[in-house]
Amino acid sequence: THSNGKCHQPLAGRLDPEVWKTIISSLYVFLVFGFTSFVMVIVHERVPDMRTYPPLPDIFLDSVPRIPWAFAMAEACGLILCYMFLLILLLHKHRSILFRRLCSLMGTVFLLRCCTMFATSLSVPGQHLKCASKTYADSWGKIQRALTIWSGFGMTLTGVQTCGDYMFSGHTVVITMLNFFVTEYTPRNWNLIHTISWVLNLFGIFFILAAHEHYSIDVFIAFYITTRLFLYYHTLANTRAYQHSRRARIWFPMFSFFECNVNGPVPNQYHWPFNKPAFMKTLIG
């Protein structure tokens, strides 16, 4: 439990789901996505004029012809990974801890993304995007646009079109994060699942670039930041000496709050989450 700012270790071998912390992490990522949507509206207002600022030189975009349907395929890869993770989450014994970690990491990466895309506005990576600076009559217009992006999850498959949010790629963040959660929280010998997950991750990144929706540096930085943060978080969480160190509490206060009662690695144990119907209990006990 957590009281007076201190953590108390649960019984050995037992992992407390701490659902209330999971609710807090869900609220955190929910608010971060909302804030990200509003920042995307702001950066759309500041997008450089395409006639004055042409696309920057990019080795991949200059070498590979644009594939018009590629971005939809990238989002399809993300959706498949999302369904895979949701199935794992449903069946995993420690689903509350998994979901809490996903929300914590996803929210933190997207909060960092807000800073980078607001700080520097890159020129539009392709003439096909037809981006122009968009202004709104009042703050309510900006809020309405942000709500549209928020409710559509920023996906083109839901009809959301954005401009200026290039540094760094949010689609790459989501696809990569889901891949790492799928591979981390399934047994090591589930090679087929791991292979499918990595193929979807890599093809998703390729499709993002093939659609000429992002510069190569956007995708590279998104992949690097996501993977490093995931690995650092889990290294701290799995190492008790780091987990309860004073330095971790100072530099990673949210991590310390969410993970203080998780003692060591989370075992990959699965069980059916629903009660068996009465007739099944009669048949199989």
Sequence spans of domains, the chain? 19-284
Among candidate residues 278, 8, 43, the one with its CA nearest the CA of residue 168? 43
Dist. CA 44–CA 219, nearest whole Å:
19
Looking at residue 243, what is its pLDDT? 65
User: At 278, is the pLDDT very low, low, confident or very high (cuts 50, 70, 90)?
Assistant: low
Q: What is the pLDDT of residue 228?
A: 96
pLDDT at 277: 60
pLDDT at 205: 97
Taking the C-alpha atoms of residue 94 and residue 184, their distance in angstroms, rounded to an integer, is 13
pLDDT at 175: 98
Fold of 19-284: Vanadium-containing Chloroperoxidase; domain 1 (1.20.144)
Q: Which residues are catalytic?
A: 171, 214, 218
Residue 112 has pLDDT above 50, yes or no: yes
What does the pLDDT look like over 96-111, one tens digit per residue?
A: 999 999 999 999 999 9
pTM for this prediction: 0.88
Helix (H, G, I), strand (E, B) or coil at 122: coil
pLDDT digits (tens, 9 = 90+) for 246-268: 777 777 778 888 888 888 889 99
